[in-house]
Amino acid sequence: MTIADTQLKMQSAPQSARDIGDAWSKMVAKRRLYTGIGLVVLLVAFVSSVRFADENNAGHFFDRLPHLFDFLSWLIPKDWSDVYRALFDLASPNGANGAGGEEFNFPLGRIYVWGDFYIPEYFELMIITINVALVSTIIGFVFAVPLSFFAARNMSPSNPVRLVTKRIMEFLRAFPEIVIAGLFSAILSIGPIAAIIAVGLHTIGALGKLFYEVVENIDMKPDEGMRAVGASWTERARFAALPQVLPNFMSYALLRLEINVRASTIIGAVGGGGIGEELKLSISRGFGAKTLALVLLLFLTIIAVDQFSAWLRRRLVGEHAFLLQH
């Protein structure tokens, strides 16, 4: 029984307050019963799926679950100042024999630039990761802008061109970046180049879809004016459509830059270079202070990129666009 049924029943025949209260209580009890049954079904489905995956050697979830706190025990360092030392490649007195060892021998990671001036190894790796994200975002933006005009229903030169362009963009974003990176790593060997190509191709497909949806919502009156004076397709796209969509294009591109920083980190863990590769090695070797230092650096970088892109979007799109969203 729904609320509408209850209201209809109340309107069709006069009832006492006790009858109305009883009907309401029955409806609430029935809803609670259905909710409980649904939660039990979801719980059984979740446990069954995890057990099925576990029995098929997909991670041994239940076998490894008691060891979760073992991971936390080695991750938390005995001396929290080692996290600071690891972040800036400073020597640590901790470790075996009081001399450091590989886990605490941080000065090995220094990149000397001039005399005694050095860049900590992790900062250099983070710069590589940001460079991969930045270059792949620029590549994606440059190719996605013209493709979006070919794919937009209101601006495409012809239907075959529109359909082919859409299929190309769907193909480019159909595969995760890590899969494309693995393919190009086999061809070009592991490194940032394979990561740039992988993230760049996926960005073309993803941004292209967002861009052509923006183009399809533009005001067509400027385009009609350009048609009336005999403008070519390129001139219509450049002078009638592009000025309307460029702020939104930039907003989506900056959002994509944040996503690409995270994607570049993940690809780094499988040989794409940058901070991801070092993070994977640190976790696999059980270096708690180094792992926390890398996670902290990655977290601060994501916050910095997010704040910078938000500031740039406000400058490009305008403060009023943000006020309208709240």
pLDDT, tens digit (0-9, with 9 covering 90-100), for 144-158 = 999 999 999 988 888
What separation in angstroms does the CA of 298 have from each of 60, 76, 129, 164, 312?
29, 18, 10, 39, 21
Q: What pLDDT, on a 0 to 100 scale, did the predictor assign at position 205?
A: 92
Residue 100 has pLDDT above 60, yes or no: no
Three-class secondary structure of residue 82 per DSSP? helix
Q: What pLDDT, on a 0 to 100 scale, did the predictor assign at position 155?
A: 87
195 touches 267 (CB < 8 A): yes
Q: What pLDDT, on a 0 to 100 scale, did the predictor assign at position 85?
A: 81
Angstrom distance (rounded) from CA 238 to CA 244: 10
pLDDT in tens, 19-48: 888 888 888 889 999 999 999 999 999 888
Give residue 97's pLDDT band: very low, low, confident or very high (50, 70, 90). low
Q: What pLDDT, on a 0 to 100 scale, did the predictor assign at position 278?
A: 81
Which of these ranges, 32-36, 55-59, 75-79, 103-107, has the smallest mean pLDDT?
A: 55-59
Indicate the burial class of 106 (C-beta count within 10 angstroms; 0-12, 13-18, 19 or more).
Answer: buried
- Alpha helices by DSSP H, the chain: 3-12, 17-55, 61-64, 68-75, 81-87, 121-151, 159-174, 177-188, 192-215, 221-228, 233-236, 242-267, 275-285, 288-317, 319-324
pLDDT in tens, 234-278: 898 888 898 888 888 888 898 888 888 888 888 877 777 778 878
pLDDT in tens, 167-178: 999 998 888 887
Alpha carbon 90 to chain centroid distance? 32
pLDDT in tens, 174-191: 888 878 877 777 777 777
294 touches 75 (CB < 8 A): no
214 or 284: whose pLDDT is higher? 214
Three-class secondary structure of residue 118 per DSSP? strand
Quote the mean pLDDT of the chain: 81
Q: What pLDDT, on a 0 to 100 scale, did the predictor assign at position 211?
A: 93
β-partners of residue 119 are 111
